[in-house]
Structure 1
């Protein structure tokens, strides 16, 4: 616009200069002629030098007037051109800002009515674009919030097979970073093969598809309910596919636990009941007459009844722990005192296997916990360590802490637990070595009870184990909070 204004101004200068030059030439020719005639008619004699002098003086005056006129006309034309072009330049600059996405830009041009009308139209367009941008930002924020908090993993893949949208649940579920996924081909992400096959199927058929699949992520079996559908834009244009994955691993696990629980309870109850019934029937059939056999059978019946009582008590305890509203009596508790009491309770069993404790306590740690429940936790863990360890080995007890938790480690030198079984050791009735734990009098509910009590303390338990070398149970109990 400025270049156009300069060209227009130059055109007016040339035009004005030409007009004034022509006018000066005409005046320079006519006025001396009329002056000479005037002197002749009035009988005034002028010689040649006087006539030349008059012509020069008149030419100088004419030239001076023309130069002054030319300068004045140029200044006036420049002012008029600027008044005409500046508003248009302002409106043009505003339009450029709008094309760049700066919808806050406004035109402030003044001038003729048509310029003002153009300015108002551009400003109205800018306000409408700004409102549309606000609405788009709000909708994008809503969509982003919905995608990030929908609770299921979501990934959208465009028609070139590159990832365009992905949410946090998907990234966390497969331990990926956004930079590793965004605008990358989905086949390069290292997804499980069955998921890649599912996405390929949706791409090929361009139809909605639903399937339940089993995948392994970080050595853990997960179950996913996957739904895939094509994304269709305006005029039926195919844009890609969207994949939504619901994690149903917990539902399947709970369903399996429910089935196992019913089967295990039936089995665990049937064994002692069958023994008690069989030996009592034998006694009733006349075996009671043999005093030695009578005492032996009564001893077996007594053991089986104790076993049955322990099982029922553990079931009732587990039921109480799982009831809504169950809580523990939280108070400042010394972990050292808890371990001392747990060691006292388990020492007789330790002596039976000629084992010993190795205590590694640099200093005591005070946690927020229920003293009796904590004793129950560590008594159970130490008992398990003794049960699953061979004779003449050592049980190591450690007390540590970090910024949030008091930490207790119970480490044995026993048979160890395979990695595939670690995730299941806290299930009800699950036994790593079923024969040994049942012969030792265990019910298979101890670790399930331990986990519930720890969770009631807002703590956590971790298992580190190597087959053939031993197992380390690590319990985290929140530290006592200091009050200001």
Structure 2
């Protein structure tokens, strides 16, 4: 059946149908015309014969001889019946065909005109003769050759004698029709190919264009409607290719921009199916739970129905997201086509807000303790509660210690503020770090003797390094101070150095109480204390290690810690031998 979908076949069948219909109508018309013509000519010939018979009968005096002559003249192949008086029709004839004709003359009222009105009558009659159906032409001609008014001459001839002529004409028409059909078929295929070949090229090019393939220009062979169609298609393909190129460039630019966004972009259609999502949105979908996903679907559906923008927050284990969900409208119809969600990771901002709150609380707490002690001991002296010199000296020493503690806390806060503001600058110089470490050890000798702690120094490095002397001195001081705080009598604190081809390594190890595993990843955070206590005494402010790490990273180095409770702790510092900032 697919062949009937071809334009060539349809056009050929259409032309063939039209030509066949025309030939059938023409053939039928010609056959009818020739049949009528032959019958008319036969009737005219029979009339001429009747006129001759009438002339012979009226010109001869001997009617018997005239009748014999007329019958010999006309009969074979035609037959003649001469009725001198209408009563002759009642006679019986030996020839059965003549008897049939006589019966027809008697029964057919049309032949009464011959006897009554003296008019010429021609009739086609059909009779059964010799077990076959025959068609005859029977004419009636009024005669004046006899003394009776109701006399006439009737001549009949078998119309089947015209079949040979009609058959020959039919054969000629059939041959001509076949030749015309063959010529029509050839012409139809030629015409259809001429018309459809460009159309097939257009169809193939259109399918290629639909698949996104580039076509060569379609050749234009004529300037008719099909040629103009090919020109229009070439122009259309050029415009489509240009527009596709522009759209592709714009889409690529859009995708790059969306993928480069720090915010997530998630687009939905009216069926809540995802249409567009960038890597940030994919990460968001991976982070949230199934319950949060269901909430997101409900919010998107609500936005598409209410036509309003919705703000929503979703928090996971370690992330905090803010969602802005807005409807997407069709600019032409003004109807919603879906919704788009902008996903912003506010985890850092949330963390910073919490750190600010925690910072304020910690600073307030750390400052309150020494200030209260300064105020309390000063008031005790001023109010005369203590009057003995030894007691006053003790109170003044406590006030001095708390003042130093307060000064150290303020300095650490200033350092932290500078680090956060990025204002920490380094004055690097190439130097041997040995003198710096020896001075640190010398500063802590008195404290080590008081705590009965052993200090050891093992220097095995051979390379100089670019450092800021004061900042690295502060680092080593903070680490030794921590080690002194968390060691007991009899413990050992050791500073050792060595280097490889890339880095200088400084290790500060102790045999103190150690750090629990759950605290290892947090000890470099600001205000973090292993025992979580904020009291005076051995416990620091929780800012020392934060400052240490910031200074080491400023030197493009690293600091790592290894510790085990009850065994001790080791801090390892690595500083590049080559100053990467230069």
SS in 2 for 1:216: coil
- Kindly indicate whether residue 416 of structure 2 is the aligned counterpart of residue 416 of structure 1: no
- Kindly indicate whether residue 478 of structure 2 is the aligned counterpart of residue 380 of structure 1: yes
Contact persistence 1:153–1:246 (CA under 8 A): yes
Contact persistence 2:463–2:499 (CA under 8 A): yes
- Kindly indicate whether residue 236 of structure 2 is the aligned counterpart of residue 135 of structure 1: no
Instruction: Tell me, in whole angstroms, the C-alpha distance in 2 between the residues paired with 1:402 and 1:209.
Output: 58
Contact persistence 1:194–1:213 (CA under 8 A): no
Shift of 1:201: 3.2
The answer for the alignment partner of 1:354 in structure 2 is 453
Q: 1:342 to 1:233 in 2, by over 3 A?
A: farther
Q: 1:210 to 1:6 in 2, by over 3 A?
A: closer
- Kindly indicate whether residue 291 of structure 2 is the aligned counterpart of residue 209 of structure 1: no
Contact persistence 2:505–2:573 (CA under 8 A): yes
Question: 1:190-269 maps to which residues of 2 (within 5 A)?
Answer: 191-192=288-289, 195-203=292-300, 205-206=302-303, 208-217=309-318, 222-229=319-326, 242-269=340-367
Q: Which TM-score applies when normalising by structure 1? A: 0.64
**Root mean square deviation, CA, Å:** 4.9
SS in 1 for 2:324: strand
Q: Which TM-score applies when normalising by structure 2? A: 0.55
Contact persistence 1:91–1:107 (CA under 8 A): no
The answer for the alignment partner of 2:262 in structure 1 is 151
The answer for the alignment partner of 1:307 in structure 2 is 405
Superimposed CA distance per residue, residues 170-210 of structure 1 (whole angstroms, 9 cap, x where no aligned partner) = 45x56xxxxxxxxxxx6xx4634663353143155345432
- Kindly indicate whether residue 375 of structure 2 is the aligned counterpart of residue 277 of structure 1: yes
Instruction: Tell me, in whole angstroms, the C-alpha distance in 1 between the residues paired with 2:196 and 2:293.
Output: 62
Shift of 1:376: 1.9
Identify which range, 267-276 or 415-424, moves more after superposition: 415-424
Q: Which has the higher contact order (CA 8 A, sep 6+)?
A: 1
Instruction: Tell me, in whole angstroms, the C-alpha distance in 1 between the residues paired with 2:195 and 2:501.
Output: 73
Q: Which residue, out of 425, 431, 442, partners 2:540?
A: 442
How many residue pairs get aligned? The number is 402
Shift of 1:439: 0.8
Shift of 1:147: 1.7
Shift of 1:284: 3.5
Contact persistence 1:202–1:241 (CA under 8 A): no
Contact persistence 2:8–2:193 (CA under 8 A): no
Q: 1:385 to 1:291 in 2, by over 3 A?
A: closer
Contact persistence 1:230–1:238 (CA under 8 A): yes
Superimposed CA distance per residue, residues 330-374 of structure 1 (whole angstroms, 9 cap, x where no aligned partner) = 45566777666655555655563535669697x667665423322
Structure 2 unaligned residues grouped into runs of 5+: 14-187
SS in 2 for 1:438: coil
Shift of 1:415: 4.2
Contact persistence 2:453–2:492 (CA under 8 A): no
Shift of 1:282: 2.7
Superimposed CA distance per residue, residues 103-128 of structure 1 (whole angstroms, 9 cap, x where no aligned partner) = x4232413111344233211111111
- Kindly indicate whether residue 531 of structure 2 is the aligned counterpart of residue 433 of structure 1: yes
Q: 1:348 to 1:456 in 2, by over 3 A?
A: same
Superimposed CA distance per residue, residues 41-68 of structure 1 (whole angstroms, 9 cap, x where no aligned partner) = xxxxxxxxxxxxxxxxxxxxxxxxxxxx
